[in-house]
Amino acid sequence: AARAGYRAAFTASPHSSIVIDQFLRADKLELLRLVFATEGAFEERHYLWEWTDQGRSEKTVSAAAWHAARESQRAFVERVFTAPRPEYRLGRGSLTHYKFLELLSSPELMDFLDSVSGIRPPTMSGLLMRIMVGGHYIPPHSDFQPIRDLCAVFYASGGWQEGLGGRFRHCGPGSALTPVEPLANRLLLFEPRREARHDVEPIAQFDSAWERWSYSIWFGQPNAPPAT
């Protein structure tokens, strides 16, 4: 009955999107948080906009190049997971993280996605773990790619309150914004359509204690089709 309810909500949503709360067992969530808090190594990355024949995209640059660029050229800044710290390669959080990746690629999860959205991807095709802090944001963009069937964001950090920012926001129709709060143990699922855009609102700089911990997940074909 719960899956049928999610399926109806996904179909009715103008953004082809649903929110599933309490996605993992609480003990598993607490172990995943160890990766963000202590066990994982995160690298700060800076992005500038570049314009090509295919449109606008972002490119990784040094921190010095990002700070030297004009405001209109700056895309965003984020901290990206690179690997477990050497002393935590077999840590409880790191092992749980790898089991989570196994779950996200499993046929059982693909069946679950089909049951709640009507879309059954072949597998998980990509994943990015992010930490965002005060002043960080992600500008409006589309996650559309021909090889992607579904996208998801899983939130691991707790303590979010109104006014901290960091909400995912569906853009449109028109100038409308539909926010999704980054609540702990919440899975946001949406279909990546070419015309569907979203952003992450700036995180308030006055509160340096709160951090936005998330997994960005893409489901679809594991590899891009060969060029023809």
DSSP annotation string for 52-87: ETTEEEEEEE-HHHHHHS-GGGEEEEEEEEEEE-GG
Interval 200-223: pLDDT, tens: 999 998 756 899 999 999 999 986
The model's pTM is 0.91
The pair phi, psi for residue 42, each rounded to 5°, is -120, 135
Joined tokens for residue 79: 């901290």
pLDDT in the model for residue 227: 45
Is the link from the previous residue into 173 a cis peptide, with omega within 30 of 0? Answer: yes
DSSP β-bridge partners for residue 61: 46
DSSP 208: -
Residue where the block lists tokens 């992600």: 138
Interval 95-150: pLDDT, tens: 999 999 999 999 999 999 999 999 999 999 999 999 999 988 888 889 999 999 99
Q: What is the mean pLDDT of residues 161-190?
A: 95
Q: What is the mean pLDDT of residues 65-82?
A: 90
Choose among 110, 184, 193: nearest CA to 153. Answer: 184
- Chain centroid to CA 151: 8
The pair phi, psi for residue 206, each rounded to 5°, is -75, -20
> Cα–Cα distances in Å, from 157 out to 3, 54, 183, 209?
25, 35, 7, 12
Joined tokens for residue 140: 């409006």
Amino acid at 202: P
pLDDT in the model for residue 224: 54
Residues contacting residue 61 through CB under 8 Å, at least 6 positions apart: 46, 47, 48, 69
Q: Which of 3-12, 66-75, 160-169, 189-198 has the lowest mean pLDDT?
A: 66-75
Q: What is the mean pLDDT of residues 187-209?
A: 89
